[in-house]
């Protein structure tokens, strides 16, 4: 329904932001380029700047230092052209951070292991060995099955019960025993409470 370049720039920009949040960086880059093209077509530098900011986020998330720096330099030049001093300072700082950041360390960073170590440091000495052993057991199991080794955690099995069907004949039934069960069931005490009214029946 949108046809104006500024409307399309906004739509493509928001779609790209959403795709970054769900880590679909290839599609996010595609829609960021479309948003930038629409901003350039409308002659609106603010939207071009917004798209350059998305490019910086995408490239940093994918550990592409050179592309991230190039996007930051373009954003810096547009900020200077628009006279936005606070953004000029921001993008200068961003370029310094991109230059200093260790991309290889980011790739090798294991946030879960770091958090486990921090938790382990806070624990009393008598529990450390036990918890460390538990975590090593969890590391050896795939992520979708790790809860099964945690004490006190019983994951629900959503599989339907399987009834085994066989062509072998079942054990013969005792007709006398079946008749006795039917008779006892006839004279079984009622489980209903005397005087109890279930008002849900009348809704």
Residues 6+ away with beta carbon under 8 Å from 68: 55, 56, 59, 60, 98
What confidence score (pLDDT) does residue 73 get? 93
Residues 6+ away with beta carbon under 8 Å from 140: none
Q: pTM for the full model?
A: 0.53
What confidence score (pLDDT) does residue 51 get? 94
What confidence score (pLDDT) does residue 63 get? 84
Please identify, in words, the CATH class of the domain defined by 5-102: mainly alpha
Classify the C-alpha dihedral 169-172-175-179 as positive or negative: negative
> What is the number of other CB atoms lying within 10 angstroms of the CB of residue 146?
16
Which is nearest to 36 in space by CA: 68, 65, 8?
Answer: 8
Give the mean pLDDT per block of 10 residues along the chain (203 residues).
81 92 91 92 91 93 88 93 91 90 62 79 84 77 57 52 54 78 79 68 64
Under 8 Å between Cβ of 17 and 54: yes
Taking only the tens place, the pLDDT of each residue in 108-153 is 556 677 788 888 888 888 888 888 888 777 776 665 565 554 555 5
Delimit the domains of the chain by residue range. Answer: 5-102, 111-149
37 φ, ψ (degrees, to nearest 5): -65, -40
Under 8 Å between Cβ of 135 and 116: yes
What confidence score (pLDDT) does residue 48 get? 93
What confidence score (pLDDT) does residue 77 get? 93
The Cα–Cα gap between 195 and 18 comes to: 59
End-to-end distance of the chain based on CA atoms, in angstroms? 47
């Amino acid at each position: 329904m949108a046809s104006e370049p500024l409307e399309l720039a906004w739509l493509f920009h928001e779609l790209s932001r959403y795709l970054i949040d769900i880590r679909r960086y290839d599609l996010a880059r595609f829609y960021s380029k479309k948003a930038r093209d629409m901003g350039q077509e409308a002659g609106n530098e603010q939207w071009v700047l917004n798209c350059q900011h998305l490019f910086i986020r995408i490239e940093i998330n994918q550990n592409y230092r050179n592309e991230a720096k190039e996007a930051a330099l373009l954003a810096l030049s547009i900020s200077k052209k628009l006279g936005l001093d606070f953004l000029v300072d921001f993008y200068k700082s961003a370029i310094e951070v991109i230059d200093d950041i260790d991309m290889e360390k980011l790739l090798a960073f294991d946030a879960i292991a770091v958090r486990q170590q921090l938790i382990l440091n806070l624990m009393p000495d008598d529990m450390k060995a036990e918890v460390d052993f538990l975590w090593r057991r969890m590391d050896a199991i795939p992520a979708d099955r790790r809860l099964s080794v945690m004490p006190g955690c019983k994951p629900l099995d959503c599989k339907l019960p399987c009834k085994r069907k066989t062509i072998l004949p079942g054990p013969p039934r005792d007709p006398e025993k079946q008749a006795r069960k039917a008779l006892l069931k006839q004279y079984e005490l009622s489980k209903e409470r005397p005087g109890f009214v279930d008002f849900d029946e009348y809704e």
